[in-house]
Amino acid sequence: MAYDVIVIGLGGMGGAAAYRLARRGLKVLGLEKFTPAHTLGSSHGGSRITRQAYFEDPAYVPLLLRAHEMWDQIEQDSGERIFHRVGGVIVGPPDSDTISGSRASAEQYGLKHELLDAHETRKRFPTLRPEADEVALYEEGAGFVVPEAAVRAHLELARRAGAELHFEESVKHWEQGRVTTALATYEAEHVVVCPGAWAPELLRDLEIPFEVERAVQHYFTPTGDFDDHPVYIWDPADGRGFYGFPRIDGAVKVAFHTGGDPCTADTIDRTVHDHEVEAMVDATARPMPGIAGTYQRGATCLYTNTADRHFVIARHPEHENVTVACGFSGHGFKFTPVVGEILADLTTDGATRHPIALFDPARLRGGA
C-alpha cells in the first residue's frame, strides 16, 4: 500500500509531525519501534521545562511563542492536561551566559520578566539560597509540559485525523520513497525521519557527528515546600549546574543538564548508581537545601547532541523528498508542536514561514 508520507519515529517530534500532516489531508503512516509514549528514548520523565527567555539563542523565541499557543490548542483538542504555567527562575552570576542570554532574549522580544538580586530572590522564593553575587531572572510565563501526555495527545489527534500508526515495528532501512521494517516494506511520496537517539544509525548518511548522552533524572521527597514552586535552572560559577521542578505526584525532579556519559540508544546503562545520587545531593545542598530529602527513584533518558547543541530540521540534503528532525540536544521537547508544524510545511511546501536557518545541517556535515 502506498502513502503520501511515512513518519519514522513516533516520539515527541514524530507524533506531532504525523498529526500535522494527517490534519492537512495527507495519507500518513507512522512507524514506531516501541509502544506509544514509551520510556526508552527522550520523551518521558513526567516533566520538561518550557520557557521563552531563551539564553541558547534569540532565534528560538519566535518558535517558542508559537509553541505556547499550540500547546493550549492541543490541550483543548485532546483533553489532555499538558502545559503547567508555574513560572520559571534562572539563577546564576549576572554576567553568565545563562542570565545575560536570557535577559537579552527577553528584552529583544518584549517578554515579561523580572531580574532579582540575591536578597529579593530569597524573599520571593525561600527554597532558593543564592550567593550574594548571584541574581535570578524570573519569567512568569514559564512552566513545564508533561511529555507523556503530549505524546499521547499528538498520537490520538493523528489517529482522529486519519493517520495509520504502527507500534513495535522497527525500521530496518529507508530510502527515498520506500521504508522497510521488520514486518513489511512500504512506499510513500515523502519520508519524515524523527529518530531521536537512533539518529546516528538511521541518519548516518547525513554525515553529522551526533553524540548520544546518558542523562539521569532524580526524584526526591523534599523537606521544603515545593508544592507551589516555579521550575528552575541553576547555573553557578563552579559549573555544577542543575535544573528542576515543583512537587509533582509526591516527588520533585532534579537533574544535571550536562556531563552525562556517552552511550548509544541500544547500550545505555539504565541503572542509576549511588555515586550519581550522591553527586546530585551534594550539588543541591548549598543552593537548595530542602530539595534532596528522601530519595525515591531515578530514571535515565537520552540526549542526542549536535556539536553546537542546536537542532537539525531540514529537507535532507541528499534526498529531495526526505525531511529530518533530530539532534535536539536535551532542550527540544518544549518545541514539539511547532516542530510538527515545520515538518508538515517542509514536506508539503518545501519551505516554512518559521525561522529555521539556525537548524541547517550544512553547518555540521563532515565534522569530526
- From residue 315, alpha-carbon distances to 14, 100, 184, 325 in Å are 15, 33, 25, 9
Task: Say if residue 367's pLDDT is above 60.
Answer: no
Q: pLDDT at position 224, please?
A: 84
Q: pLDDT at position 92, please?
A: 96
- Number of C-beta neighbours around residue 283 at 10 A: 19
What tens digit of pLDDT does each residue of 237-296 get?
Answer: 887 899 999 999 999 999 999 889 999 999 999 999 999 999 999 999 999 999 999 999
Q: pLDDT at position 176, please?
A: 87
- Contacts of 139 by beta carbon, 8 Å cutoff, 6+ apart: 51, 52, 53, 87, 88, 89, 90, 102, 106, 111, 112, 113
Q: 368 pLDDT band (50/70/90 cuts)? A: very low
Report phi then psi at 301, rounded to 5: -140, -175
Q: pLDDT at position 25, please?
A: 98
Q: How far apart are CA 156 and CA 162, in angstroms?
A: 10
Q: pLDDT at position 1, please?
A: 65
Q: How far apart are CA 270 and CA 278, in angstroms?
A: 17
Of residues 296 and 2, the one with the higher pLDDT is: 296
What tens digit of pLDDT does each residue of 192-250 get?
Answer: 999 999 999 999 999 999 999 999 999 999 998 899 999 999 998 887 899 999 999 99
DSSP β-ladder status, 88-92 and 231-234: parallel
C-alpha cell at 19: 498529526
- From residue 4, alpha-carbon distances to 30, 87, 119, 321 in Å are 11, 41, 58, 11
What tens digit of pLDDT does each residue of 24-34 get?
Answer: 999 999 999 99
